[in-house]
């Protein structure tokens, strides 16, 4: 068995965009699990994704209000096809990120993860910590900041491993 994942973060709807691009909605429809790493801005997008996604896993971000925080919280954890996935919005500065994430999510942590999905910077990131935690930031589909275009990530969870990780451009 395998599961198709769509990783999103920093959608900032409606502050930075009126909504998600049709391309992103098609990926939502194709995914078995949609992961959102925070900064939704309004509950309406959460409601839309909950209604449309087969399975949604999400957290609140620093730009989200109390309603989103009460529904989502700071950390989400899920196991998909044997892959332990943790989701947070912020991991701090790029310098020292792997070390900090190993301490919080690595094999010696109270609740270890194989993969950590995070957001906040709007800058895509894909690395593996010294203790083997895969760190993924999908960027933002709607607010590219210093990137050439917006982005999301797709991946496949299969037999306890994450495969086929791809950064997908989401031009407006």
What pLDDT score does 146 carry?
87
Closest to 140 (Cα-Cα) out of 4, 12, 6? 12
Burial annotation 115-133 (CB, 10 A radius, 16+ → b, else e): bbbbbbbbbbbeeebebeb
Closest to 101 (Cα-Cα) out of 116, 83, 119? 116
pLDDT, tens only, 87-107: 999 999 999 999 999 999 999
pLDDT, tens only, 123-140: 999 999 999 999 999 999
Domain ranges in the chain are 2-169
CATH of 2-169, one of 1.10.10.1590, 1.20.120.1200, 3.60.21.10, 1.20.120.140: 3.60.21.10
User: 154 and 172 in contact (C-beta within 8 Å)?
Assistant: no
pTM above 0.95, yes or no: yes
């Amino acid at each position: 068995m395998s599961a198709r994942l769509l990783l999103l973060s920093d959608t900032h709807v409606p502050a930075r965009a009126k909504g998600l691009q049709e391309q992103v909605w098609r990926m939502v429809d194709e995914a078995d699990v949609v992961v959102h790493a925070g900064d939704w801005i309004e509950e309406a997008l959460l409601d839309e994704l909950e209604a449309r996604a087969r399975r949604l896993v999400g957290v609140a971000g620093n730009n989200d209000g109390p309603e989103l925080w009460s529904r989502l919280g700071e950390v989400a954890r899920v196991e998909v096809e044997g892959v332990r996935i943790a989701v947070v919005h912020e991991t701090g500065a790029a310098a020292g990120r792997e070390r900090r994430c190993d301490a919080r999510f690595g094999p010696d942590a109270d609740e270890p993860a194989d993969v950590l999905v995070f957001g906040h910077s709007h800058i895509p990131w894909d690395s593996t910590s010294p203790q083997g935690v895969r760190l993924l930031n999908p960027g933002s589909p709607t607010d590219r900041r210093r990137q050439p275009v917006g982005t999301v990530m797709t991946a496949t969870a299969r037999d306890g491993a994450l495969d086929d990780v791809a950064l997908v451009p989401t031009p407006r």
